[in-house]
Amino acid sequence: MPYMKIDDKIINQLSKILQTRTRVIQEPEILENYAHDETPLYHSMPEVVIKPETTKEVSEIVKLGYEYNIPITPRGGGTSLSAGAVPLFGGIVLSFERMDKIKEVDQKNLTVTTEPGIITEKLDQELKKYNLFFPPDPVSLDSCTIGGNIAECAGGPRAMKYGVTRNYVLGLEIVAGTGEIIKLGGKLLKNVTGYDLINLIVGSEGTLAIVTQAILKLLPRPRVVVDLLIPFPLVSSAVEFAITTISQAPQVAAIEFIEGDVIRLLGRFLKKRLPYPEAGAHIIVEIDGDCQTEVRRIYENVGDIALKNSALDVLVAEGEKDKERIWEPRRNIGDALKELTKNIAREDLVVPKDRVPQLIKEIKAMLKSYNAQLYAFGHLGDGNIHTDIGIEKGQKINRSKVNEIRKNVYKIALNLGGTITAEHGIGLSKIAYLPMAIAETNLQIMKEIKRIFDPKNILNPGKIFQNNH
């Protein structure tokens, strides 16, 4: 059954649900902003953008979509790197920018109850007032939303110590593909009452249900945070350092990796000379805790491990300005790649940590025949390496060649015991490659689960699986 196009009758019903026309957007110049996310090469115009303010409004909109078979694409901050927020079949984009309220900070139970549209960094700033924090910290935290983080099971640099979004979601309020409102979990650290439906929703990319409220576990905010910048002559030296550090200093919160070619690109983009630009790799280590003496002991130990693994230097940042200088290049990688290269693929592979040098070596060798460049960076502490691929500005490459490159990249990762995505998700961009990583039986189970939650396939259709319409 084909999806229905949106006409004046539907627009009038949507306006009635919201009791206003101002949150029903049809102007082409505004719709364009919702036709893409941060994934290169993917674009599709929605027919209308809706900005709900309550769960009830979301439920009524989904019921309307279910009745008339209208596709609905939920959208947070639009920072997806797998085209997860691209409205492939037009229809309704459900933007959560107005559902951005913190409902409650419960200091006794160490939880926060929040709407999905709140920006991750804004949530962090609010939690600072209570000396609490929500550990998952995607690099896009200044623009990504909690709802998007839940949809993608976002991680970030601190995942190696604190885990990913899944580890902090205690309860959810969701709207299924029929418009039914469902509540899951609560302020409970333990709950084995039936199947774990919360973890089914987390990471489902908006294809099973739409999150309208979340109860998140919080932790006391560390009193002391120190960052180290450690340049290494070779990627292999950096990896050996990371492996040794994880076994000898497990208190480390983050081990971030920036390959040498990316460092030199960042120097051009930031128009400054970065420390040790000739290095084969830069490592950023974050160490946190409650005792200054203990944190110093840990970072001195980490420094010793680094020097034993051929580090060129160990730069220590304890003040906020120094820490910002260390993290500035890492947080500007995406903008640097957009500005100085033509980015044709943004991948987030994961392999066993000791195989990262081989991963980078094999991808670089493969790309030579395509006249393309690898830009590798990411979360070395958990083996999750972002392997962005670019070509020179003005250089042309057709989609079939890009697909060929991506298939080869995934083959390399899978052959090294890894898989094709760690935190960006399948979305639209990796659908064709999913059978390379997952057995057919597993895919069929997933599709059956999708049918139960979303029987008409109206929630973010065309993502994760080939669309049936």
Dump the DSSP string for 190-202.
Answer: ---SSS-HHHHHT
What is the pairing mode between strands 281-289 and 224-232?
A: antiparallel
Residue whose token pair is 């939920």 = 74
Tell me the C-alpha distance between 412 and 430, whole Å: 15
Spatial strand order of the sheet with 24-25 comes to 24-25, 48-50, 92-95, 72-75
pLDDT at 270: 97
**Domains of the chain in sequence order:** 102-220 (3.30.465.10), 224-333 (3.30.70.2190), 341-427 (3.30.70.2740)
pLDDT at 249: 87
3-state secondary structure of 81: coil
pLDDT at 250: 83
Tell me the C-alpha distance between 108 and 131, whole Å: 13
Contacts of 271 (CB under 8 A, 6+ apart): none
Beta bridge partners of residue 343, listed in sequence order: 390
Amino acid at 357: P
Tell me the C-alpha distance between 442 and 429, whole Å: 20
Q: Name the strand (E) or helix (H) holding 134.
A: none
pLDDT at 468: 53
Amino acid at 131: N
Tokens standing for 436?
A: 């390379």
What is the pairing mode between strands 132-133 and 72-75?
A: unpaired
- Per-residue pLDDT 10s for the chain (469 aa) are 799 999 999 999 999 999 999 999 999 999 999 999 999 889 999 999 999 999 999 999 999 999 999 999 999 999 999 999 999 999 999 999 999 999 999 999 999 999 999 999 999 999 999 999 999 999 899 999 999 999 999 999 999 999 999 999 999 999 999 999 999 999 999 999 999 999 999 999 999 999 999 999 999 999 999 999 999 999 999 999 999 999 998 889 999 999 999 999 999 999 999 999 999 999 999 999 999 999 999 999 999 999 999 999 999 999 999 999 999 999 999 999 999 999 999 999 999 999 999 999 999 999 999 999 999 999 999 999 999 999 998 898 898 999 999 999 999 999 999 999 999 999 999 999 999 999 999 999 999 999 999 999 999 999 999 875 5
- Phi, psi angle pair for 460, to nearest 5°: 45, 55
Q: If we measure between CA atoms, which residue out of 347, 348, 337 comes closest to residue 392?
A: 337
Name the pTM for this structure: 0.94
Tokens standing for 158?
A: 């601190």
Let me know: does 259 contact 235? Beta carbons within 8 Å: yes
Q: Name the strand (E) or helix (H) holding 247.
A: helix 235-248
- Written as one string, the DSSP assignment of 368-417 is GGGT-EEEEEEEGGGTEEEEEEEE-TT----HHHHHHHHHHHHHHHHHTT
pLDDT at 394: 86
Residue-wise burial string across 266-295, b where 16 or more C-beta atoms lie within 10 A, e elsewhere:
bbebeeeebbbeebbbbbbbbbbbeeeeeb
pLDDT at 469: 53
Tokens standing for 102?
A: 């913190």
Distances (CA, A) of 205 to 34, 202, 211, 466: 17, 8, 10, 14
Q: Count the neighbouring beta carbons within 10 Å of the beta carbon of residue 440.
A: 8
- Written as one string, the DSSP assignment of 113-125 is EE-TTSBHHHHHH
Amino acid at 276: Y
Let me know: does 390 contact 459? Beta carbons within 8 Å: no
DSSP conformational letter for 110: T
In a 10 Å sphere around its CB, with 0-12 CB exposed, 13-18 middle and 19+ buried, how is residue 130 labelled?
middle
Residue whose token pair is 């990471």 = 203
Q: How many CA atoms lie within 13 A of 297 on its CB side?
A: 10
Instruction: Compute CA 109 distance to the chain's CA centroid, rounded to the nearest angstrom.
Output: 27
Tell me the C-alpha distance between 387 and 197, whole Å: 32
Expressed in angstroms, the distance from the first to the final Cα of the chain is: 6
Tell me the C-alpha distance between 119 and 100, whole Å: 8
pLDDT at 197: 97
